[in-house]
Amino acid sequence: MSEFKSFLKEYRIKAGLTQDELADKVNVRRETIVRLEAAKYNPSLKLAIEISRVLKIPIEEIFQYD
């Protein structure tokens, strides 16, 4: 079974954004960002693309499956 890994927190911090700021930019609740950072939630493709665009990082660097 594949393991979902998230590097969202590291890239969000490098971008100088708080969880609330990122959540506002991608139109989700802060709790969604918390769950994504903890790899407890797999984002939809639409959400992954929006996060990728905001952070200017390729999706496959932010979210990975082993």
- pLDDT digits 0-9 by tens, 1-45: 569 999 999 999 999 999 999 999 999 999 999 999 999 999 999
Answer yes or no: pTM beyond 0.95. Answer: no
Cα dihedral angle (55, 33, 21, 62), rounded to 10 degrees?
-10
Average pLDDT over residues 41-66: 96
Quick one: pLDDT at residue 1?
59
Long-range contacts of 19-25 (CB under 8 A, 24+ apart): 22/51, 22/54, 22/55, 25/50, 25/54
Residue 66 clears pLDDT 90, i.e. is over it: no
Straight-line distance from the first to the last Cα atom of the chain, in angstroms, rounded to the nearest whole number = 9
